[in-house]
Amino acid sequence: MVSNKGYIGIVVQDSYFKDIHIDLQSIIVDMLDDRKRQLRDRCDFSVQRSRVNMNPQAQKYNKPKGPTESLLVFS
């Protein structure tokens, strides 16, 4: 039998496909909600350095300067 009494901490970063925002944080929250886990806390951080800045083609799409990285804590 599996116990659900512990906490899960996940660090995730949102992303873009061309100019479409991929909200990975919401996807993870929905996936764990389906497994009866509840989001207890979320801390967002802006990321200054990202691999997207290495791709000159990525600059032509309209998006914010940097991705958001989040710590998601579930029980």
37 burial (CB, 10 Å; 0-12 / 13-18 / 19+) is middle
Q: Give the C-alpha separation, 12 to 23, whole Å.
A: 10
Q: Give the C-alpha separation, 64 to 31, whole Å.
A: 26
- Please report, in tens digits, the pLDDT of each residue of the chain (75 residues total): 456 678 999 999 998 887 788 999 999 999 999 999 999 999 999 876 665 555 666 556 555 567 889 999 999
Cβ contacts of 51-57, under 8 Å, gap ≥ 24: 52/16
Q: Give the C-alpha separation, 4 to 6, whole Å.
A: 6
* pTM more than 0.95: no
pLDDT for 30 equals: 96
